[in-house]
């Protein structure tokens, strides 16, 4: 009887496990590369994304201010947590790097409960490199006053090009 219960639990456990879907290869220009402790890759041990691939992930809108813009703006893109789930990331830290090699380290444990956005649009328009795009890490500063600190401002990298999970 004990073995039957164990077998049923194992079967139920395996049937409810979530498995990330395989990543297709980017067809367009790669705008984001994710590396490090990830289990879902599409090229040379990394997960590369073009704009269309990011657009196919669940999209979220956040209305917030930033120290670099005037007034409130609507930012749209994929949540960082959603992207990390997609690549089957396991780690506690993340190094985010911009096109100009500016980089910062994000503590995923501190941020996991916040809707951190990898924004590709501002006010409905795709962000260009000259306008802080193609990806800008946006913290919902208007909704979470505790994020309104200099340290978090440093993490709000624009022109994001890569994330390394460790």
What residues does each domain of the chain span? 24-165
Per-residue pLDDT, 21: 58
pLDDT digits (tens, 9 = 90+) for 75-120: 999 999 999 999 999 999 999 999 999 999 999 988 889 999 999 9
Q: Give the pLDDT score at 120.
A: 98
Task: Check residue 17 and report its DSSP letter.
Answer: -
- Report which DSSP code applies to 141: T
Report pLDDT for 15. 34
Q: What is the pLDDT of residues 1-57, one digit of tens each?
A: 433 333 333 334 333 334 445 789 999 999 999 999 999 999 999 999 999 999 999
> Angle at the Cα of 100 (from 55 to 128), degrees rounded to 5?
40
- Supply the DSSP string of 28-55, one letter for each residue: S-EEEEEEESBS--SBTTBEEEEHHHHH
- Sheet harboring 160-165: ordered strands across? 47-50, 30-36, 160-165, 93-98, 103-107
Q: Which residues pair with 77 in a beta bridge?
A: 60, 119
Q: H-helix or E-strand containing 155?
A: helix 150-155
Query: What CATH architecture applies to the domain 24-165?
Result: Alpha-Beta Complex (3.90)
What's residue 2's pLDDT? 39
Q: In this predicted structure, what is the pLDDT of residue 22?
A: 74
The pLDDT value given to residue 111: 87
C-alpha dihedral (78, 83, 86, 87), degrees to nearest 10:
150
Q: Give the HSE-up count for residue 39: Cα atoms under 13 Å, Cβ half-sphere.
A: 10
What's the distance, Cα to Cα, between the start and end of the chain in Å?
Answer: 43
The label of the residue with tokens 């501190």 reads 110
- Helix, strand, coil shares of the chain, percent, nearest 5, are 25, 35, 40
Express each pLDDT in 133-156 by its tens digit: 999 999 999 999 999 999 999 999
Write the CA distances from 30 to 47, 49, 141, 160, integer angstroms: 10, 5, 29, 12
């Amino acid at each position: 009887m004990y073995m039957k219960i164990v077998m049923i639990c194992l079967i139920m456990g395996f049937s409810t496990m979530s498995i990330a879907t395989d990543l297709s290869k980017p067809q367009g220009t790669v705008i984001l590369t994710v590396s490090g402790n990830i289990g879902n890759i599409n090229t040379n041990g990394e997960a590369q994304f073009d704009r269309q691939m990011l657009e196919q992930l669940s999209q979220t809108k956040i209305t917030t201010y930033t120290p670099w813009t005037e007034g409130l703006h609507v930012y749209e893109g994929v949540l960082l947590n959603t992207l990390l789930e997609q690549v089957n990331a396991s780690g506690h830290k993340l190094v985010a790097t911009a096109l100009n090699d500016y980089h910062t380290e994000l503590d995923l444990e501190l941020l996991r409960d916040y809707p951190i956005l990898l924004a590709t649009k501002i006010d409905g328009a795709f962000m260009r490199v000259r306008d802080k795009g193609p990806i800008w890490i946006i913290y919902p500063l208007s909704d979470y006053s505790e994020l309104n600190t200099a340290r978090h401002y440093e993490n709000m990298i624009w022109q994001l090009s890569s994330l390394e999970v460790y």
